[in-house]
Amino acid sequence: MIFDRVLAGQDRRPRAQAPMSSFRDQIPSGGVFEPIIARIQALQPPVVDASLERIERLLRWMGDPQNRLPPTFHVAGTNGKGSTCAYLRSIAEAAGLRAHVYTSPHLIRFNERVRVAGAIVSDVILAEAILHAERANDGAPITIFEIVTAAALQLFASYPSDICVLEVGLGGRADATNVVRRPAVCSITSISMDHSDVLGGTIREIAREKAGIMKPGAPVVVGRQSPEATRVIASNADDVGARLLQRDRDWTIERRHGAVEFADAMGQLSLPLPSLDGAHQLDNAGIAITSLRASELSFPGSAFDGIAAAKWPGRMQRLKGGLSDLLPPGWELWLDGGHNVGAAEALATHFADWRDVPIHLIVGMKDSKDAAGFLNLVLPFASSCWAVADSRGSPRPTHDCTYGRGERSRCAARSS
C-alpha cells in the first residue's frame, strides 16, 4: 500500500512517499503496539488543552486525509456510541456496502479500533500506519489518541469504502475525530455524567461539548435525552444551522409483539428486534436507522433488518463456554462495560426483568468513576456484589453494602 505523501524534515515540504513496507523493519516483534505507544507517550504534552490544533497540524503534514473520506457518520454521546456504530455498520453491510469504522477503546486487541472496509485491520498494517503518522509528526507534542486517529484517517483515505463511521473518543468539540468538516450526518446518543473533570460538572456543560460535533448543513440525529440536554442540543443546532431529528418528534421506534416498529417522515418500517440486549438498544438502533435514512445515500428497506445482526462485544453480552461452564446448571454469565450513572440506569431497567432469579454482580471500575452513583442504582437488584480492584492497586478490605431494599450482602473487593 502507498500513502499519498508524508511531510518530513524541518521545512515540512511534501516529498514522495515510500511504500508502507519500508516501515516494516521498524515494527518490533512480539507485542506489536506496546513499544510504539510507549515511545509516542513520551510526546504527550504536560497539559493537554482542549484543542484541535495538534491533530489538525499533523493531518496537514500528512496531506489532510480527513478530506478524502467516503460519506462520514460522526457519533457522539456518553453511552451507546459504540452500539450505534455497530448498527450503522451492520445496516450498511446488509445493503451490500463497505464501511470504515473507528471506535475506542478496544476490548481485547488494540486493532479492534480500526475496521477498514468492514474488516478489522491487521496488526502489521495498523502498526505501519501509526509509524507513518509518528514520522510525519516528527517529535512534536501529540497524544496517543491523536496519533492513532490520524493513522486511522490515513488508512480510511487510502482504501475504498462506501461509508465511514467515526466514534468520538471523549466529548466532541475538541475530540480528535472532530476534524471532518462535512460529515454526512452527526448523531448524539444518550448523555449523562461522565468525565466531569474534562467535560464539565453539569449535564448542560457536557451536552455542549457533545453538540460540538455539529456542522452546518449536516443533519443531527438525537435519541431520548434529559430536558436540559435537549435544550442545549436544540440551541446549538439552531446556532450552527443543522437540521435536528429528535426521537418522539421526528422519528419513533417501539417494540411491539416481538418486533420493532420504526417511523419517520419517509414512512414506516417493521423490523426484527435488535441483536443487542437491553431496552436502551432501541434508542441506539433508532439513531442508526434515522442517521442512514437522513443521509443522501439510498438504502432498501430490507437493509434495516441489519439491526438484528449487529455485533458489539461487552454490551449486555451473554458469555458461553469457558467461565460460564464452571457455573452451576441453569446459571447465566453476562458481561457489560457500563461504568457511569447513565449505564447503571440502563442496567437497572434490564435487571428489573430478572427479578425471578438471583443476580450476583462482579464490578471493576477506575477510581475516577462515580462508583457510588453507579452501585446505588444496581445494588437493589443484586443478591451479592464483588468488587475487583485495579491490578495496579491493592485490594481494599471487605465491607458490607446496604441495598435499596434494606437487605445486606457481602461485597468483597479483590485484586484481579
Q: Any idea which architecture 317-415 has in CATH?
A: Alpha-Beta Complex (3.90)
Residue 265: what pLDDT?
Answer: 96
Confidence tier at 169 by pLDDT (50, 70, 90): very high
- Whether 30 has a pLDDT exceeding 60, the answer reads no
Local structure of residue 272 (DSSP, 8 states): P
Residue 197: what pLDDT?
Answer: 67
Q: Which residue has the higher pLDDT, 405 or 86?
A: 86
Confidence tier at 195 by pLDDT (50, 70, 90): low
What are 127's three cell numbers? 502498526
SS (H, E, C) 14-45: EEECCCHHHHHHHCCCCCCCHHHHHHHHCCCC
Give residues with Cβ within 8 angstroms of 334, minimum separation 6.
Answer: 316, 317, 318, 319
Residue 93: what pLDDT?
Answer: 97
Dist CA 318 CA 372 (whole Å): 25
Cis bond before residue 160 (omega within 30° of 0): no
Residues 112-125 have pLDDT tens digits of: 999 999 999 999 99
**What value does the mean pLDDT take over residues 199-215?**
92
Q: Which residue has the higher pLDDT, 396 or 107?
A: 107
- Residues 117, 100 contacting (CB under 8 angstroms): yes
Q: Which residue type does 61 have?
A: W
Q: Which residue has the higher pLDDT, 233 or 378?
A: 233
Confidence tier at 393 by pLDDT (50, 70, 90): low
Residue 370: what pLDDT?
Answer: 79
Dist CA 30 CA 35 (whole Å): 10
Q: Any idea which architecture 5-308 has in CATH?
A: 3-Layer(aba) Sandwich (3.40)
Residue 17: what pLDDT?
Answer: 40
- Whether 414 has a pLDDT exceeding 60, the answer reads no
Dist CA 17 CA 383 (whole Å): 60
- Whether 397 has a pLDDT exceeding 90, the answer reads no
The sign of the dihedral angle between the CA atoms of 195, 198, 201, 204 is: negative
Dist CA 179 CA 153 (whole Å): 10
Dist CA 287 CA 304 (whole Å): 12
Q: Which residue has the higher pLDDT, 370 or 132?
A: 132
Question: What percent of the chain is predicted at pLDDT more than 90?
Answer: 56
Give φ, ψ of 55 to 5 degrees: -70, -35
Q: Which of 45, 42, 3 is nearest to 20 (CA)?
A: 3
Residues 260-296 have pLDDT tens digits of: 999 999 999 999 999 988 888 999 999 999 999 999 8
Dist CA 280 CA 210 (whole Å): 19
Q: Which residue has the higher pLDDT, 52 or 312?
A: 52
- Whether 216 has a pLDDT exceeding 90, the answer reads yes
Residue 253: what pLDDT?
Answer: 98
Q: Which residue has the higher pLDDT, 406 or 334?
A: 334
Mean pLDDT of the chain: 84
Domain boundaries, the chain: 5-308, 317-415
What are 382's three cell numbers? 443484586
Residue 394: what pLDDT?
Answer: 47
62-79: burial string, b at 16+ Cβ within 10 Å, e else: bbebbeebbbbbbbbbbb
Residue 13: what pLDDT?
Answer: 32
- Whether 65 has a pLDDT exceeding 90, the answer reads yes
Residues 323-372 have pLDDT tens digits of: 888 888 888 888 887 777 777 887 888 888 887 788 898 888 877 777 88
Residue 189: what pLDDT?
Answer: 96
**What value does the mean pLDDT take over residues 5-23?**
36
- Whether 27 has a pLDDT exceeding 60, the answer reads no
Confidence tier at 7 by pLDDT (50, 70, 90): very low
